[in-house]
C-alpha cells in the first residue's frame, strides 16, 4: 500500500477544534511587572491570569502555527492553575498542539492523560481521536513492523464505540478501515512468502486471518 494514502490531515477537525476552544475573547490588557516591596530581585513573578496564558497559546497555535511555543503556554496554565476549567481546556489544546507539531508520543501521552482525568468531558471524544490519529500518522510500509498500525486500530475503534455520535466518529471509522487494510496487506505479504517456500499450511493460516479478521465490512451475506 502506498504510505501517502495513509496520511489523512485533520482537515475540518483541526479548524473546528481551534474554533471551539477559541471562543474566549483574547485578553487585551497585559499585566505590568510588579515591583517587590523588599527589592528582592530573585522573587518569583506572580501567576498570570489563566485566560491570558490560554489565549496566548491559542494565538500561537492558530495564527502563528508555533505549536511548540503554544504547548508551553498551555502547560503553564496547568502549572499555575491546576484545578481550574482553564487547565482542562489547556490540556486538550496541548495535546492538539503536540499533534500538529508531529510530536506524536507527547500528543498521545497528553491526550491519554486528558481521557483519564476527564472521561465524562464533551472533549473526551476529541482526545481519543487525537490518540488514534497520532498512531495512524505513524503507520509504515507493510514490510516493516505494524505495531503502530494495530494501536491505531484499537484507539480509533474506541472513538467509534464510545463516541458514535461525535463529530469524529466518521473520520475515525475511515482511518480505522484503512489501517485494517494495511494489516491485511501485511498478512497477505507473509502468506505469499510462505507460498513461495511451499509452506502451504503457513500460507493458509495467514490467508485465513485476512478473511476472518480483515474482510471489508458488509461484504459477506448470510446464505
Which domains are seen in the chain, by residue range? 3-21+49-213 (1.25.40.10)
pLDDT of residue 210: 86
pLDDT of residue 28: 32
CA–CA dist 68, 49 (Å, integer):
21
Burial of 44 (0-12, 13-18, 19+ CB in 10 A): exposed
Q: What are the pLDDT digits (tens) for 135-183?
A: 999 999 988 899 999 999 999 999 999 999 999 999 999 999 999 999 9
pLDDT of residue 199: 84
| Sites in the chain below the pLDDT cut of 70 | 1-46, 216-223
CA–CA dist 145, 168 (Å, integer):
27
Q: Is the dihedral of CA 174, 177, 183, 187 positive or negative?
A: negative
Amino acid at each position: 500500500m502506498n504510505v501517502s494514502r495513509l496520511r489523512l490531515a485533520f482537515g475540518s477537525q483541526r479548524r473546528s477544534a481551534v474554533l471551539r476552544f477559541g471562543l474566549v475573547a483574547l485578553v487585551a490588557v497585559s499585566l505590568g511587572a510588579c515591583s517587590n516591596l523588599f527589592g528582592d530581585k530573585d522573587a518569583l513573578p506572580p501567576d498570570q491570569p489563566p485566560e491570558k496564558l490560554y489565549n496566548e497559546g491559542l494565538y500561537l497555535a492558530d495564527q502563528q502555527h508555533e505549536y511548540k511555543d503554544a504547548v508551553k503556554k498551555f502547560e503553564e496554565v496547568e502549572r499555575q492553575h491546576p484545578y481550574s476549567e482553564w487547565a482542562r481546556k489547556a490540556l486538550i489544546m496541548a495535546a492538539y498542539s503536540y499533534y500538529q507539531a508531529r510530536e506524536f508520543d507527547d500528543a498521545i501521552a497528553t491526550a491519554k492523560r486528558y481521557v483519564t482525568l476527564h472521561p465524562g468531558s464533551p472533549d473526551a471524544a476529541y482526545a481519543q481521536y487525537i490518540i488514534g490519529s497520532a498512531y495512524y500518522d505513524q503507520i509504515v510500509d507493510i514490510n516493516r513492523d505494524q505495531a503502530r498500525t494495530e494501536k491505531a486500530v484499537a484507539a480509533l475503534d474506541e472513538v467509534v464505540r464510545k463516541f458514535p455520535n461525535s463529530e469524529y466518529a466518521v473520520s475515525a471509522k475511515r482511518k480505522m478501515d484503512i489501517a485494517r487494510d494495511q494489516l491485511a496487506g501485511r498478512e497477505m505479504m507473509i502468506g505469499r512468502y510462505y507460498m513461495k517456500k511451499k509452506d502451504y499450511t503457513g500460507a493458509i493460516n495467514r490467508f485465513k486471518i485476512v478473511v476472518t479478521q480483515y474482510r471489508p465490512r458488509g461484504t459477506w451475506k448470510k446464505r
